[in-house]
Amino acid sequence: DIQMTQSPSTLSASVGDRVTITCRASQSISSWLAWYQQKPGKAPKLLICTASSLESGVPSRFSGSGSGTEFTLTISSLQPDDFATYYCQQYSSYPLTFGGGTKVEIK
Amino acid sequence: EVQLVESGGGLVQPGGSLRLSCAASGFTFSDHYMDWVRQAPGKGLEWVGRTRNKADSYTTEYAASVKGRFSISRDDSKNSLYLQMNSLKTEDTAVYYCARPNSSFDYWGQGTLVTVSS
């Protein structure tokens, strides 16, 4: 199974900060990586697919990069609506696996 | 508008069974693979399994943690996805989401809570 490791697990930041979340795969997944945002009591929302393709309707302050085993999600200027938990997910091979999540909290 | 609506969750005793349903609308259900993903209380996301479409013979994939106990099926005539859960364990307690894979999961239902407890 491909293990997905996210860091940090918790991140405290202020509105306007630049935020970077890292996701590492235990083996190469090419660019078969997605990022999701989840708010309490809600279903996850797709932000980015194929590592760097922004989903329609997602603000341009979100961006993704990387390939192989190292990936990043960047929020260029954190907004109040962005305080949430973020997950990476690989869809290179079965079983599909998610990272453990990164909770972005208000500093 | 794509909608996925899960139902069938509830409280069940360890060793028991439960069947979840997911009603789909707003897209051609029969064309798509469909998945189940779960989330234990306060924990992260865990993929449960997938059913492919008719073109790919409705074949299925499962996570090791549920293989042999859970079964995914679909009824394209009813635009519905199902998750039959047998031999339930306390660690199966979670919110269960149906999700549409378009490579990544582009649409999710609101989830249904399954609690396995005596």
- A107 falls in which pLDDT band (50, 70, 90)? confident
Query: Could you count the other beta carbons within 10 Å of the beta carbon of residue B109?
Result: 23
Taken in order A77, A79, A83, A85, is the CA torsion positive or negative? negative
* B112: closest CA of chain A, how far (Å): 11
A38 CB neighbours in chain B (<8 A) are 45
pLDDT at A84: 97
Q: How far apart are CA B118 and CA B106, in angstroms?
A: 36
A89 CB neighbours in chain B (<8 A) are 45, 104-105
* A98: closest CA of chain B, how far (Å): 6
In chain B, residues 68-87 whose CB comes closer than 8 Å to chain A: none
**What are phi and psi for residue A66, nearest 5 degrees?**
115, 165
Q: How far apart are CA B115 and CA A71, in angstroms?
A: 35
- B92 falls in which pLDDT band (50, 70, 90)? very high
Q: How far apart are CA A66 and CA A97, in angstroms?
A: 17
Of A46, A50, A94, the CB nearest to B105: A46
pLDDT at B83: 98
Instruction: Find the residue in B nearest to A47 (Cα).
Output: B106
- B7-65 pLDDT tens trace: 999 999 999 999 999 999 999 999 999 999 999 999 999 999 999 999 999 999 999 99
Q: How far apart are CA B70 and CA B37, in angstroms?
A: 12
Of A43, A46, A89, the CB nearest to B97: A43
Contacts (Cβ under 8 Å, ≥6 apart) of A59: A79
Q: Which among B22, B4, B12 is positioned nearest to B72, based on CA atoms?
A: B22
Subunit contact B109:A43, Cβ cutoff 8 A: yes
Q: State the amino acid at position A64 in one-letter form.
A: G
pLDDT at B63: 98
- A17-75 pLDDT tens trace: 999 999 999 999 999 999 999 999 999 999 999 999 999 999 999 999 999 999 999 99
Chains A, B: CB contacts under 8 A, how many? 54
Instruction: Find the residue in A nearest to B36 (Cα).
Output: A96
**Once rounded to an integer, what is the mean pLDDT over residues B77-89?**
98
* A14: closest CA of chain B, how far (Å): 24
Per-residue tokens: B107: 């649409």
Strand-by-strand arrangement of the A70-75 sheet: A4-7, A19-25, A70-75, A62-67
**Once rounded to an integer, what is the mean pLDDT over residues A2-18?**
97
Subunit contact A89:B44, Cβ cutoff 8 A: no
